[in-house]
A and B are shown apart, each in its own frame.
Chain A
């Protein structure tokens, strides 16, 4: 089945630094990928939709200059958290949809970001 690889699985960084998270579709091409954020004991909240070869679409309230998304190829999307602060600490998850409806959407394993 479809596999989405997300890296790193966890990262600790200092306030003010930037962190890049990669999301790769391993065995299929994804023109669209999605980035979610999940705070403890809450559900997944969509942050942005990543479109290959064009600008990402951000949800209301998500700062596009803080959460930089690049989708330069059909198998790779990256999310960069710039000038991270402790309130950015969260679980970040990417998702991609393969063409076959049967498998629905495939999710990465998530990245636990802790900003200290």
Chain B
């Protein structure tokens, strides 16, 4: 059964710092992995989808990597800003490939 873990649960950094969020998954037979952002009380916004054939995916200041062999993905945020403060969730497909299994998220706070 797929399990997704995110470490740390919370992170506080000063503005301008580069940071890495970690995600690990138990079933490495995945064909993609998705990162989301959630603001308090809101729905999820898709940030990046990495296919298993890719090792990295970039969008602006965000870069996500995927290492299936080690069961890990990282989300790198460059030059963090207060507007980046949110909860970041990663999700991997379940074994049937029919739905996503979510980690519990990393809550990021960027202070100005």
Chain B binds chain A:
no
